[in-house]
Homo-oligomer: A and B are copies of this chain.
Amino acid sequence: MDKQHSQCPVEFTVNMVGGKYKLVILYQLAIHGVRRFNELRRELSNITPRTLTRQLRELESDGLINRQVYSEIPPKVEYSLSETGKSLYSLLLQFEKWGLNYMANNPK
Chain A interface residues (CB < 8 Å from chain B) = 4, 6, 8-14, 16, 18-20, 23-24, 27, 84, 87-88, 90-92, 94-103, 108
A100, B97: Cα distance in complex, Å: 23
- Select A96's contact among B9, B92, B102, beta carbons within 8 Å: B9
Q: Are B14 and A23 in touch, CB under 8 angstroms?
A: yes
- Select A98's contact among B88, B101, B102, beta carbons within 8 Å: B88
Residues of the B chain whose Cβ atoms lie less than 8 Å from the Cβ of A94? 90-91, 94
Residues of the B chain whose Cβ atoms lie less than 8 Å from the Cβ of A27? 8, 10
- Select A92's contact among B4, B10, B24, B92, beta carbons within 8 Å: B10
Q: Are B13 and A95 in touch, CB under 8 angstroms?
A: yes
